[in-house]
């Protein structure tokens, strides 16, 4: 896509209603970035697990990334910088996000953008060719999306991934019965993140579009089951 095409596309991508209504304070309002763009805060929100979960996702990309990686949605903290650090000479990272302030914030965070393309796109309508990416990372996005949006995001992530490539999801998950987080997190998630409990009730593997073959699905949980990584190999 040429820079001109990309600019005109950005102008036509609306911020989805659920993001405006539910998450304006976290991602859409310019003050959101001022409040949340702090490493210690995003780590606190994940109860000290940010680095562990970031590294669990990165591990799937390998020590040196030589292919094309797509990060679906910006992440507060140093997630994207760590992906960039792994890019080999042939590696490339695309990051998309639907919120203009998030795009601006990512540009400000990234020091070296020679191997990175940041674009305003919606995760439900990715502007990439079928089977064009070696790996796709979706870090803590699914729990923020209503069910029908989540299904489309997953379908799009699979569509753009090459056969043999990985789609890496990291997100919330239902904690084990004895975990105190099973009780502590319910009021927090139900108050602030109305779609998040879906991650406790359902499995990402069950939300894949019908008619798409995948080679492998692997799931690992962390922190007493409160978090999960699901890796789908196409």
Ligand X SMILES: C[S@@+](CC[C@H](N)C(=O)[O-])C[C@H]1O[C@@H](n2cnc3c(N)ncnc32)[C@H](O)[C@@H]1O
Pairing of strands 133-139, 68-72: parallel
User: How many whole angstroms separate alpha carbon 227 and alpha carbon 35?
Assistant: 24
99 lies in the binding site for ligand X (CB under 6 A): yes
> Closest approach of Cβ 168 to ligand X, in Å?
13
Count the neighbouring beta carbons within 10 Å of the beta carbon of residue 218. 13
User: Nearest CA to 146 among 211, 228, 207, 99?
Assistant: 207
19 lies in the binding site for ligand X (CB under 6 A): yes
Of all helices (H) and strands (E), which one includes residue 183?
A: helix 181-192
Cβ 22 vs Cβ 190: under 8 Å = no
By CB atoms closer than 10 A (0-12, 13-18, 19+), residue 210 is exposed
Selected from 94, 97, 156, 193, the binder of ligand X by CB under 6 A is 97
Nearer to ligand X, 53 or 208 (CB): 53
Selected from 33, 58, 69, 74, the binder of ligand X by CB under 6 A is 74
156 lies in the binding site for ligand X (CB under 6 A): no
The structure tokens listed for 216 are 């492998």
| Part of the chain binding ligand X (CB under 6 A), chosen from 73-81, 163-171, 179-187, 224-232 | 73-81
Selected from 123, 181, 225, 231, the binder of ligand X by CB under 6 A is 123
| Part of the chain binding ligand X (CB under 6 A), chosen from 60-68, 69-77, 184-192, 213-221 | 69-77
| Part of the chain binding ligand X (CB under 6 A), chosen from 120-128, 156-164, 185-193, 222-230 | 120-128
Selected from 10, 78, 124, 179, the binder of ligand X by CB under 6 A is 124
The structure tokens listed for 87 are 């890019």
* Residues found near ligand X in the complex (CB under 6 A): 16, 19, 27, 42, 73-77, 96-99, 102, 122-124, 139-141, 144
């Amino acid at each position: 896509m040429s820079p001109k095409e990309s600019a005109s596309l950005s102008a036509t991508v609306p911020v989805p209603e659920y993001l405006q209504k539910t998450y304006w304070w976290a991602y859409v309002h310019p003050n959101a970035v001022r409040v949340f763009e702090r490493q210690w805060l995003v780590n606190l929100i994940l109860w000290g697990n940010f680095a562990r979960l970031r590294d669990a996702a990165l591990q799937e990309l390998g020590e040196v990334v030589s292919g094309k990686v797509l990060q679906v949605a910006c992440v507060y903290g140093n997630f994207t910088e760590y992906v960039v650090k792994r890019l080999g000479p042939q590696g490339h990272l695309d990051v998309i996000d639907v919120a203009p302030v998030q795009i601006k914030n990512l540009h400000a965070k990234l020091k070296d953008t020679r191997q990175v393309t940041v674009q305003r796109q919606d995760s439900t309508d990715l502007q990439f060719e079928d089977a064009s990416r070696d790996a796709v990372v979706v870090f803590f996005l699914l729990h923020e999306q209503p069910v029908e949006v989540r299904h489309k995001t997953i379908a799009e992530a699979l569509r753009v991934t090459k056969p043999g490539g990985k789609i890496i999801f990291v997100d919330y998950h239902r904690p084990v019965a004895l975990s105190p987080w099973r009780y502590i997190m319910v009021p927090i998630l139900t108050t602030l993140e109305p779609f998040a409990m879906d991650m406790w009730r359902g499995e990402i593997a069950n939300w894949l579009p019908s008619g798409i073959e995948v080679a492998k699905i692997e799931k690992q949980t962390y922190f007493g089951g409160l978090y999960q990584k699901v890796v789908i190999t196409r």
